[in-house]
Chains A and B, each alone.
Chain A
Amino acid sequence: MIGLQFGIHTFLNFDNLGQLLPLVWGSLVAGVILGLIAGAIGPMIHARDLAFAVHGTSELSFAGAAAALFFGVSVNLGAIAGSLAAALVLGWLGVKARHRNATIGILLPFGLGIGVLFLALYTGRSSNKFGLLAGQIVAVQSTQLVSLAVVAAVIAAVLVPIWRPLFFASVDPEVAQARGVPVRALSMAFMVVLGLAVAMTVQLVGALLVLSLLITPTAAAARLTVRPFMLSVLSVAFAVTSAVGGIVLSLGPGLPISPYVTTVSFLIFLVCLVIGRVRERRGWNQRPEVGHHPHADALHTH
């Protein structure tokens, strides 16, 4: 009766949480920082329709990290090198989504293949291998926290000044160009920032699950609001909740972090989906019939 050994307790328990929490404060801080990065950059990924690019970048980040593991250099730097290479190639080659997707489809399996090769050659702890694909940061060292904080600061320092022209260029490229916004240069700058964010996120949730922090929180927020500022606020809140909540929930059962992060993030999305549907049905998206302009085409349905 092996089945009896598995109950809800296997997946969800809070035994010894009080004793465990102080031991993992480093992970929790890392979770908060990653949630902030992912949640803040998410709306721009959403606006630029880059979900697949994020996935492709994460696989090259994985390849870089696996190579670094094999050669015995910093996994962090390897992950960054891999995702920056991917980001630059994607930024350089594909401005239009159509061409970009083909490029990603070519890069992604190549990166994954290289990563698998180096993991197979690697003779160290197997949990390190597993961590790169599916994520694991239980004991975060303070040096890792420092490098994470530095990368977060770099991302913020680049993203805050360019946010508005970048958003203009993402939503409305023709008019943005007419208004003198350097559309192409901004696109490259954003891909670099995105590469950094992906490289950081890979280390928490692993290459395969990066989308759960970079895509899902924003997608959930988009069900609740049409205001760009609120979208950012909710996206950050959801991403931090997913990252920190996932870490806390994984402690009792002693299982990997990533399934908990992805599940929390997915559940938030489901709840937002339902709320969005209900609001839509109640006419949340209907506009008031106050247009009395002589040519009011507001009456025209779409």
Chain B
Amino acid sequence: MSITTTPAMEALGAAEPAICLNNACVAFGERVLWDHVDLDIAPGEFVAVLGPNGAGKTTLLRVLLGQHHLTHGQVRIDGNPVQRGSRRIGYVPQQKSIDSTAVIRGRDLVALGLDGDRWGITWPTRQRREKIDWALDAVGALAYADAPLSMLSGGEQQRLRIAQALVTDPSVLLCDEPLLSLDIFHQLAVTDLIDRTRREHNIAVLFVTHEINPVLPLVDRIIYFANGQALIGTPDEVMTTQTLSELYGRRVEVLRHDGQLLVFGADDHAHHPEPDQEGDA
């Protein structure tokens, strides 16, 4: 099936899914990572991506970023084919205190999100400054925007990363383990911010995580990768003993306690949650 985009369809805007996968498959040689994935994510929808290491969560992000091609099937963002370096996508990587020795302020990090990919000289204009201030304000980071990045806490750096992703006014936010190495206080603050952001700006959020509980009250749907398949549905549909046991092909137990989910036997909790590793798998 091929979809041609007409100006009328573009004008409809919201009618178009923000992310659309159609019978998508990723295989590395003989090994099929996942196959038959059909997925429509609406603008403003918050979707968590779960599954054990190497099941293809990060690869899904790489496909949407145009860094990895589908073996077969279709992928569209805003109704258009994916494009490397698209400004329609904001990308929030995991929090690591930026270990670069570079002299840089939070404001500069956001500026890189705006035009860091542009060649040549960038002159400071009022319009540029206003855009950066807008993004900083949207995440509540104006207060420390001029402090050196190396002096900020993990939570503050993660706020700035969200501002950096927002500054191009994207329709999709791809978050790759954005809560990793944050304490529970900062985890809640960051998930709250992402939730507020997607509602205010009508941005579809794809949120890769090992830890469902911090986002459980906020997500609309879950994509669960395991065993070469992807299971898609609401948390209540997906996170049950029966569904996950079927997906894994063995006994997986899901317990609910005090609004928290506990999953036994799914090997969800990775010992090496490095995003690069599964891409190479």
| Contact between A160 and B144, CB atoms less than 8 A apart | no
CB distance from A227 to the nearest CB of B (A): 7
Surface stretch bound by B, among A22-30, A116-124, A131-139, A169-177 = A169-177
Q: Pick the contact of A164 from B84, B105, B115 — CB < 8 Å?
A: B115
The A-contacting residues of B in range 76-91, CB under 8 angstroms, are 84-86, 89, 91
Which residues on A sit within 8 Å (CB–CB) of B120?
160-161, 164
Q: Does A85 interact with chain B (Cβ within 8 Å)?
A: no
* B102 contacts partner chain A, Cβ-Cβ < 8 Å: yes
19 contacts between A and B (CB under 8 A): A43-B103, A162-B119, A170-B102, A171-B104, A171-B112, A172-B98, A174-B91, A175-B113, A176-B116, A176-B117, A178-B91, A179-B117, A226-B103, A226-B104, A291-B142, A295-B189, A297-B159, A300-B186, A302-B154
Are B143 and A165 touching (Cβ within 8 A)?
Answer: no
Residue in chain B with minimal CB distance to A288: B143
- Inter-chain CA distance A288–B142, complex, in Å, is 10
Residues from chain A with Cβ under 8 Å of B54 in the complex: none
* Closest B residue to A295 using CB positions: B189
In the bound complex, do residue B147 and residue A287 qualify as a contact, i.e. CB atoms below 8 Å apart?
Answer: yes
User: Contact: A165 with B113, CB < 8 Å?
Assistant: no
Give, as a whole number of angstroms, the nearest-CB distance from A248 to chain B: 30
A168-B116 contact in complex given A285-B148, A288-B143, A295-B140, C-beta closer than 8 Å: yes
Binding site for A on B (CB under 8 A): 65-67, 84-86, 89, 91, 93, 98, 100-105, 108-109, 112-113, 115-122, 140, 142-144, 146-148, 151-156, 159, 161, 164, 174, 185-186, 188-189, 192-193
Contacts of B86 in A (CB 8 A): 180
- Looking at B117, B152, B159, B185, the one whose CB has the most chain A CB atoms below 10 A away is B117
Task: Report how far A171 CA is from B108 CA in the complex, Å.
Answer: 10
Q: How far is the CB of A44 from chain B (nearest CB, A)?
A: 9
Residues of chain A from 17 to 52 with CB closer than 8 A to chain B in the complex: 43, 46-49
Per-residue interface assignment for chain A, residues 274 to 302, with 1 indicating a CB less than 8 Å from any chain B CB and 0 otherwise: 00000000000101111101011110111
Q: Given the complex of chains A and B, what is the CA–CA distance between A178 and B275 in angstroms?
A: 13
CB of B144 within 8 A of CB of A291, answer yes
- Please, which residue of chain B has its CB at the minimum distance from the CB of A181? B117
Nearest B residue (CB) for A297: B155
Q: Is there contact, CB below 8 Å, between B101 and A160?
A: no
- How many residue pairs link A and B with beta carbons under 8 A? The number is 139
Asked if residues A168 and B119 are in contact (CB atoms below 8 Å), the reply is no
Question: Which 10 interchain pairs have the tightest Cβ spacing?
Answer: A180-B85, A293-B140, A168-B116, A47-B102, A291-B143, A178-B91, A295-B189, A297-B155, A302-B153, A174-B93
* Complex interface: chain B residues within 8 A of A300 (CB): 153, 155-156, 185-186
Residue of B65, B108, B116, B120 ringed by the most chain A CB atoms within 10 A: B116
Residues from chain B with Cβ under 8 Å of A225 in the complex: 103
Asked whether any CB of chain B lies closer than 8 Å to the CB of A228, the reply is: yes
Contact of B67 among A176, A177, A288 (CB under 8 A): A177
Give bound CA distance, A298 to B145, whole Å. Answer: 11
Given contacts A164-B121, A171-B98, 16 further A-B contacts (CB under 8 A): A43-B103, A47-B101, A161-B120, A170-B100, A172-B100, A177-B67, A178-B89, A180-B117, A181-B85, A226-B103, A226-B104, A227-B105, A285-B147, A290-B143, A295-B140, A300-B156
A165 and B118 CA atoms in complex are apart in Å by 6
Partner of A46, one of B103, B108, B113, B151: B103
A287 touches which of B116, B146, B161, B174 (Cβ 8 Å): B146
